[in-house]
C-alpha cells in the first residue's frame, strides 16, 4: 500500500549515538534503499556529500535517515 512520503519519519544521523538508530532500522528491515550525492566538479568533486537511507520492515513500517558529508567522510563525530 503506498505511503505518503511526508508521513515517514526522517532522522538526521549526525552523532554516533544516532548511528544506532540506523543499525536497528537496517537489521529489522525487509527492504532498503540508499541514495548518495556527490559533486561532479569543483574542489570536492567525486567526494560523498550526503547519504540517504530508507527502510521498510516486514510489517510495513517505513523509516528514513540522512547522514551529512562530515559524518560520512570523516566518521561520526559526537561534537558535530
Compute the distance between CA of residue 37 and CA of residue 48 in angstroms, rounded to an integer: 6
The predicted pLDDT at position 12 comes to 84
Compute mean pLDDT per 10 residues along the chain, 80 residues long, and list them: 78 82 88 87 80 88 78 47
DSSP 43-79: TTTTS--EEEEEEEETT--EEEEEEEHHHHHH---TT
The predicted pLDDT at position 78 comes to 44
- Residue tagged 500500500 (cell numbers): 1
The predicted pLDDT at position 73 comes to 47
The predicted pLDDT at position 8 comes to 84
- Residue tagged 562530515 (cell numbers): 70
Amino acid at each position: 500500500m503506498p505511503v505518503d512520503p511526508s508521513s515517514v519519519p526522517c532522522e538526521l544521523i549526525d552523532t554516533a549515538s544516532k548511528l544506532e538508530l540506523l543499525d536497528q532500522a537496517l537489521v529489522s528491515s525487509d527492504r532498503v534503499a540508499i541514495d548518495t550525492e556527490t559533486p561532479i566538479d569543483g574542489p570536492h568533486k567525486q567526494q560523498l556529500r550526503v547519504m540517504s537511507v530508507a527502510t521498510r520492515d516486514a510489517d510495513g513500517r517505513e523509516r528514513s535517515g540522512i547522514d551529512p558529508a562530515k559524518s560520512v567522510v570523516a566518521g561520526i563525530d559526537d561534537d558535530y
